[in-house]
Amino acid sequence: MRISAIVAYLHYLSFMLCFGALVSEALNLKKELSLNEAWKIVIADAVYGISATVVLVTGILRVIYFGKGTDYYLSNPVFYAKVVVFIVVGLLSLYPTISCIGWLKSLQQGQAPKLELLKLNRLIWLIRIELVGFTLIPLLAAIMARGIGT
């Protein structure tokens, strides 16, 4: 039971870190980035990536070993909706992550990236959509935990 509690804790904590990292990216993203702001975005994106991986791994562990049983989850359409939202959010995060990776060379040389307005707007909207997706996931989890959809 202790391992179950630890896995659940890591799942919830990493979910909160994902959300916080996205908020940090959203708050720091603007047309004229300072070197410090750009580094904050890159670090937040790395935290997001690591945390999302932990969410995925602990989520799988919870479904297979520590939850209500694999049959409960796999027979519930709300579970699939939750997984689809997580996958969509993950796919949407690829563009910001690739952008951050592209900034690394200039950041290491002490230069802040220059963002074109179109790219900036695309990044802002993708992060906003990711945040909306992340707010839906706990709603779907709460619905599923109450047996709705079975």
- Cβ-contact 31, 115 below 8 angstroms: yes
Q: How many domains does the chain have?
A: 1
User: Which pTM value belongs to this model?
Assistant: 0.90
The whole domain housing 93 covers: 2-145
Confidence at residue 12, expressed as pLDDT on a 0 to 100 scale: 96
- Amino acid, res. 103: W
* Phi, psi for 101 (deg, rounded to 5): -60, -40
Q: Give the span between the Cα atoms of 120 and 99, in whole angstroms.
A: 10
What is the token pair recorded at 111?
Answer: 């230069």
Q: What are the pLDDT digits (tens) for 10-50?
A: 999 999 999 999 999 999 999 899 999 999 999 999 999 99
Q: Is residue 112 part of a domain?
A: yes
Q: Is residue 150 part of a domain?
A: no
Q: Is residue 101 part of a domain?
A: yes
Q: Give the span between the Cα atoms of 61 and 11, in whole angstroms.
A: 10
